[in-house]
Chain A
Amino acid sequence: MTMWSRSIWERNTMLEVEGINALYGDFHVLHDASLSVNKGELVAVVGANGHGKSTLLKAICGLTPVKSGVIRFGGGDTAGLKAPQLVGQGLVYVAEDRRLFPDMTVLENLLLGAYLPAARAAEKHNLNRVFSLYPRLAERRNQLCRSLSGGEAQMVALGRGLMSDPTLLAIDEPSLGLAPNLTETMLQTVSQLNKDGLTVLIVEQSLALLNGMIDRVYSIEEGVLRETDTDNMQEVL
């Protein structure tokens, strides 16, 4: 990073968070959190449960209100924008609890990912991509999401996010509720997507899971965010 001139660095910054504070009820969850994600990076935020990881991601994606601070996405201030508008700009959130539509089929869920006009244009292409990524979803396309296993549900959640044609995919703890081998496959997929050019901001409990695939990592503790060296982090954990 140091070798880049400042102007280039700025041009490559996709997401920039500066000193945001967020409350959950009366509970102060995020304290002056700052973070940046550059184009093409895979950035992780790692921390234990209840330290504000999810809130950080939801705040960035316009799903939870921010008390103060600035969030810039693609150069523009996102203040006042809600999730639907941000999705339209390519900032897409994949929830830890999947948030699928249980009484709709896999295909319907995926197609709803391409609800907005911008994503709709790429609907066919993205659907093929998801199905080639997860042939299993193609087989089960007419099955109700209610009846899917945890691993399959996570596939639909990620697939639905991809259907929104993201420029930045914010993934909230994909390992939640998954068996270790499924988690590994899931994270490998994310890594592959990143190598293919997708910018990713991912939140996880443990850095060990993300070993070797991330560009930069932040640790979060009691709502305080800090950029950490991956090696240092390894020691801390």
Chain B
Amino acid sequence: MSLGKSKSKSATPLIASVFTGVGLKQQSLVYWLVIAALALVGGLIGDSYIRHIFILVFIWCVVIASWDLILGYAGVFNYAQLVFFTFGAYGSGMLSIYAGLTPLLAILAAAGIGAVIGVVIAMPSLRLKGEYVALFTFAVHLALPPLIQQGRAIGMGGNTGLLGIPWLNLFGYQVSPIDKLTWYWVSLTIGAVCVYLIYFVILRGRMGLAFIAMRDADTFAQAIGVNEYRYKLLAFVASAVFTAVAGGVYAHYTGVVTPRVLGTEFFLMAMVMLAIGGMGRFPGAVLGVFIVVIGNELLRSFDDYRLLLLGMAVVLTVIFLPHGMAGLFRKRG
């Protein structure tokens, strides 16, 4: 009750700015200016290794923005985010290897696969409460690697992974993974569009309004007829679709997908990004990606301790910086 009281106050200006469209134009403009600047930076960077790091950042941004959508905004404790990524990567890779689909089409198809997987995981999850959802979805995550090994029979490559995934073909132009500059722009474009769709279109539309209403005043939201199940299902599907696209892009960039994408390192990285960035507070999560990917590269020399440090980073940020970097900019949210 006390929470409802204090929260509704702080939520009022938020709702106003988000849904009367005030500031949307300016903020979009700022967003695309930043993207343009990043595109320019890509041309200026000479070092292909640094370009590679940025390519990873852009791909991660899509995953984390999608996770933020479902976890931070919709408030569904989904921990199967990398499952969507894995399905996107394997799906897109296999469709281009075995069905001869051109990679761009395969990535599009991966989006479709993501939608299906999203629905499959959302349906049982949305019948459960809070931490049950977390456990169920994480269990799915844990169960997938053994299944991928079983999937050798259908050409998933088992432990060695899926090899020889075709290069991206941009309207006749073959983009080799060594061509970091093109990849930089491709991944930036895809990443920028996905992140824009998530934060500026989906979350500023009816769905975003519904989530804010549900988060801050659950009974009120039900009273005004917000169909919680439908919106959460949609959030799940949208989240899965974007993440699967990111998986597809990743597959064609690296040329290889192994069950390692479900390993501890990726999962920890994703958690740290969200924790450090801050959930449900754009652009926190996206900033978290930049900090963590770059930080992780700087930690390469401590290789043995890296995962331990990442784990500690999760715990420490949640305790000492409960709203992540986003909380530093905005005192109250």
Contact = CB atoms under 8 A, between A and B. Distances in A.
Nearest to B2: A25
A25 B1 CA distance: 9
Interface string A138-161: 000000000000000000000000
B9 interface: yes
A100 B2 CA distance: 23
Interface in A14-29: 24-27
Interface residues of A, number: 4
Contacts of A26: 5-6, 9
Interface string A26-39: 11000000000000
Contacts of A27: 2, 5
A187 B65 CA distance: 60
A27 B9 CA distance: 11
B235 to A, nearest CB: 29
Nearest to A23: B2
Q: Label chain B's interface by main secondary structure.
A: helix
B16 interface: no
Given A25-B1, A25-B3, A26-B9, 9 more contacts: A24-B2, A24-B5, A25-B2, A25-B5, A25-B6, A26-B5, A26-B6, A27-B2, A27-B5
A24 B6 CA distance: 9
Contacts of A25: 1-3, 5-6
Interface of A: 24-27
A105 B321 CA distance: 43
Nearest to B6: A25
Interface string B5-17: 1100100000000
A64 to B, nearest CB: 10
A27 B1 CA distance: 11
A25 B3 CA distance: 7
Nearest to B9: A26
Nearest to B10: A26
A27 B3 CA distance: 11
A24 B3 CA distance: 9
Interface in B1-50: 1-3, 5-6, 9
Interface string B139-173: 00000000000000000000000000000000000
Contacts of B2: 24-25, 27
B332 to A, nearest CB: 11
Contacts of A24: 2, 5
Nearest to A26: B6
Nearest to B3: A25
A25 B9 CA distance: 11
A122 to B, nearest CB: 37
A104 B238 CA distance: 47
Residue of A24, A25, A26, A27 contacting most chain B CB atoms (<10 Å): A25
A210 B66 CA distance: 61
12 contacts: A24-B2, A24-B5, A25-B1, A25-B2, A25-B3, A25-B5, A25-B6, A26-B5, A26-B6, A26-B9, A27-B2, A27-B5
A24 B5 CA distance: 9
A63 to B, nearest CB: 14
A170 B134 CA distance: 42
A28 to B, nearest CB: 12
Interface string B230-241: 000000000000
For the complex of A and B, list the 3 residue pairs with the smallest distance between their C-beta atoms, beginning with the closest: A25-B2, A25-B5, A25-B6
A61 B9 CA distance: 30
A25 B10 CA distance: 12
B61 to A, nearest CB: 36
